[in-house]
Amino acid sequence: MKTTRDSKLTAELIGEETIEQRHLDTLLQVSRAIGTVLDRDQLIRQIIEQTTVAMNADRSTLFLHDAKRSQLYSRLAQGLEDWPRELRFRDDAGLAGHVFQTHQALIIGDTFEHPLFARDVAERTGYVPRSMLVVPITHRRDYCDGVLQVMDTETNVFTAADLALLEAIAVQVGISLDNARLYAAQKRQFDSFVHAFSTALDARDPVTQIHSINVANFAMGIATYLGMPRREREWLRVAGLLHDVGKIGTPEAILTKPGKLSDDEFAEMKQHAAHSREILSQIEFTEDYEQIAEIAAAHHEKLDGSGYPDGLAGDDLPLKARILCVADIFDALTQDRHYRKGMSIDKAFSIIDDMTPHQLDPACVHALKQFMGVVA
């Protein structure tokens, strides 16, 4: 028995009330640690790390259920990250399969004495546990998400109190997995809406029908080379796809005119930026996409205040708007238009260089050049 594990001290040594309080405190810490994580892969990693710490064990593994294949699988087994990349087996096999099928938790003092322990498989991984706790993730009636297990190389390490704590943790895990699934489903729904909306708008003009996708890609490329985090890059992807939604109110005759626009027609065309803000401001975006209406509307603004719709200048023009502006201009220059053929990359960057730094942000322009392989 490991004397370093507080949870395995007996009630005679520290008292039942103290053990119960310690377990409640541990459960609260785990709940707080995993409760706000919505990305599924990050959540799984956090669950494993927090469970191992909470149980003061050697390792933990979370097996999820694949109903289509009738399998249990784990993409991350602590200490076994390189072997194999994914662990899979039948959902009725071994200790985990037994717990999954019966919904009954197991406490195992010595795995070598348990008939369901797959010792040969464990030996191939290089890690052979002797003590184990295996609990089902069953926070919903008659449904099991999978199995959570903790392991130790010493025998008779875990107690009944440890098992009760792990079962409580498993309920928190199930709730967090549900939240992550709901978040992923909402994100897929949101992404499909954004893509469909963007595609429908671009389809009004066959010549520029992939413009929004291009702007989104260039904006993400710029953000990548600027060192912006993943969340900001995703934000720019959505903003790029939606930046031109205001063109839904622009007459098709103006959008597809083969020649130069008249002053009145150009004035009408310029209204699309403000229209984008009006349309997007009516959509209840999540906090992740805060200010997307304002930034999308500012994709024609310039640092010297010569842009539209608001004539923003200098520090009043946010970085994300500067990124969209550069991405939008580059794609517009290199893409075929009704009134001209698309320019070469060199010619486009020559024009962009002439607009920098008085109109375009030099850092954004340089980042785009890096993304396009023009500079190192």
What is the set of active-site residues? 247
Q: What is the 3-state secondary structure (H, E, C) of 113-127?
A: HCCCCCHHHHHHHCC
Asked whether 356 and 365 are in contact (CB, 8 A), the reply is yes
Please tell me the total number of residues recorded for the chain in this structure: 376
DSSP assigned state of 58 = S
| Helices 362-371/319-334 angle, 10° precision | 50
Q: ∠ CA 286-288-293 to the nearest 5 degrees?
A: 75
| Distance, C-alpha 300 to centroid of its chain | 29
Pairwise CA distance, residues 209 & 66, whole Å: 39
Q: Which two tokens stand for residue 360?
A: 């375009």
Cβ neighbours around 284 below 10 Å, total:
5
Closest CA to 99 of 145, 165, 30, 45: 145
User: Distance between CA atoms of 177 and 182, rounded to whole angstroms?
Assistant: 9
Distance in angstroms (rounded) separating the CA atoms of residues 273 and 280? 11
Please tell me whether residue 49 adopts helix, strand or coil conformation. Answer: helix
Q: Where are the alpha helices (DSSP H) in 256-375?
A: 263-280, 292-297, 319-334, 345-354, 362-371
Residues 238, 253: Cα–Cα separation, whole Å: 27
